[in-house]
Chains A and B, each alone.
Chain A
Amino acid sequence: MSAVAKTFSNRILLWAGIRGTLPLITSVAPFAMLFGALGLASGIPVVMTPAMSLIVFAGSSQLIGIQLITGGASAPVLLLTTLVVNLRHALYGLSLAPHMKGLSRGWKWLLAYFMTDETFAVAITRYNQEAADPPPNLHWFYLGSGLTLWSSWQASTLIGLLVGSKIPASWGLDFTVAVTFIALIVPTMVDRAAVVAALVGGLSAVLLAGLPLKLGLVAAALLGILAGMAVDLGWFRKLKGNPAHE
């Protein structure tokens, strides 16, 4: 017997992923209901709205997409918009990939479908917590998170389509996404570099919010990452010295 620090069954990890994602349903559900209601109002064939939630499964691009369709936008505009709005997922994939090295191709194809802001946030936090000694089946946690978000997104799309978007905006339920992400990232800010990355990322997002199609968000994320790297790798300290860093 080798000294294995800790093991979890697939089911335990799946449940942990589900539990960790439950709070986010409160913000995802009104968002998907709004999309369902907009889909109905757009006048496209009824089945296309839930089909879009199944096929695209990316909230912001669906919401912008349905508004563009209603406004009579052309196909190239719709596709280009989708590309730009969803660019940030490339950062998520890059950052998840090292934790999924041992997985089969099939698992990666499957988990890629479930990649959203929310599941990325929940899963990468757990992956990083376990980074010292990762359980080999930690992807079940990701799967649990992904399935939870996916089913609430699909169900809420249907509810919005059938009964409309009934949750008043004044309840502020969309704010759960902010407080949940705060709960996930603040404990990871353990050194100055991480704090700088967070501050630069947050401030630039507000300053660049005027850019269309979430481009400001992508640019702000990159600026935050670069700021963190500058502190981490000592770019400013080493300007005159040897820049090589092991």
Chain B
Amino acid sequence: MSESGLWLVILGMGAITYGIRAGSLLLAERLPRQAWLSSFLRFVPVAVLSAIVALEMAFPDGALDLSPVSNHRLLAGALAILVAWRTKRMLPTILVGMAALWILQALP
């Protein structure tokens, strides 16, 4: 691709990304205010963030690994979930999750 072609592609990628971001934010106010829609919106964060978390836990190096023996992220993530559930606090959850991962990795 030529240099000017590359610039156009980068600008196009930016325009498309920004278009999705701004479009959804600005057009959403024209949507009908209905019970099903507010229910839909209520579950967006928990559903999409859980999906991201599950992928991060189950694909440690880009490949699926569901064995808690070789994939330390499963146990570390489960521990973080437990801490988040009991304490409802951000920092302890992050620290325990990361510490668990490092400790499990360091074990022989």
Contact = CB atoms under 8 A, between A and B. Distances in A.
Partners in one complex: yes
Given A93-B21, A182-B84, A206-B55, A124 B73 contact: no
Given A56-B13, A225-B40, A178 B24 contact: no
Interface in B19-44: 20-26, 28-29, 31, 35-36, 38-44
Task: Identify whether the interface residues of B are mostly helix, strand, loop, or mixed.
Answer: helix
Contacts of B40: 225, 229
Interface string A40-53: 00001100100110
A187 B88 contact: yes
A39 to B, nearest CB: 11
Interface string A213-239: 000010011111101110011000000
A225 B43 contact: yes
Interface string B1-28: 1010111111111101110111111101
Interface stretch (A1-9, A29-37, A74-82, A154-162): A74-82
Interface residues of B, number: 69
A115 B52 contact: no
B25 A48 contact: no
Contact of B13 (A55, A89, A92, A201): A55
A181 B54 CA distance: 10
A109 B18 CA distance: 9
Interface in A120-178: 120-121, 124-125, 128, 169-170, 172, 174-178
A75 B64 CA distance: 31
Given A183-B84, A184-B90, A209-B59, A232 B9 contact: no
A101 interface: yes
Contact of A224 (B7, B50, B93): B50
A209 B94 CA distance: 25
A53 B58 CA distance: 28
B51 A221 contact: yes
Given A56-B17, A97-B25, A197 B43 contact: yes
Given A75-B1, A228-B42, 18 more contacts: A23-B90, A52-B10, A72-B1, A91-B24, A92-B21, A98-B28, A112-B25, A115-B25, A179-B80, A181-B53, A183-B93, A183-B94, A184-B49, A189-B46, A197-B46, A202-B53, A222-B47, A225-B47
Q: Which 9 A-B pairs have the closest CB atoms?
A: A93-B24, A224-B47, A97-B28, A179-B97, A202-B54, A228-B43, A55-B14, A205-B51, A186-B84
Interface of A: 20, 23, 44-45, 48, 51-52, 55-58, 61-62, 65, 69, 72, 74-75, 78-79, 82-83, 86-98, 100-101, 105, 108-109, 111-113, 115, 117, 120-121, 124-125, 128, 169-170, 172, 174-189, 193-194, 197-206, 209, 217, 220-225, 227-229, 232-233, 245-246
